[in-house]
Amino acid sequence: AGPGTLRKWERKVKYKDDPLLFIESTPSRETRHFIKKVALGLWLYRFRLNEPTPTLDQVAGGYWPKYISVGVKNSKRKQHAKN
């Protein structure tokens, strides 16, 4: 779904600033499943790498998740980006 579609959903869906309710109220089944798969993938990889999962904590606490980069420092990322 694009930004225009998202704006329509935001007007129609009464999610009361609850991120989980917003996801579950998303009219498009495919988009709902995609959001869940992406979030689950991020959390599983972070668990396996023994990294913190701040977005999981935010969602569980009823807050909107904000992506926070954790783990490998930028210099390491640049080194591997050349491969």
The sign one gets for the Cα dihedral 78, 57, 29, 22 is negative
Task: Please report the pLDDT score of residue 82 as a whole number.
Answer: 55
CA distance 16 to 37: 23
Q: Kindly state the greatest CA–CA separation across the chain.
A: 46
CA distance 19 to 16: 9
Give me 65's structure tokens: 């998740």
Convert the pLDDT of each residue in 17-33 to its tens digit. 888 888 888 888 998 99
Domain boundaries of the chain, sorted by first residue? 3-81
Q: Is the pTM here over 0.75, yes or no?
A: no
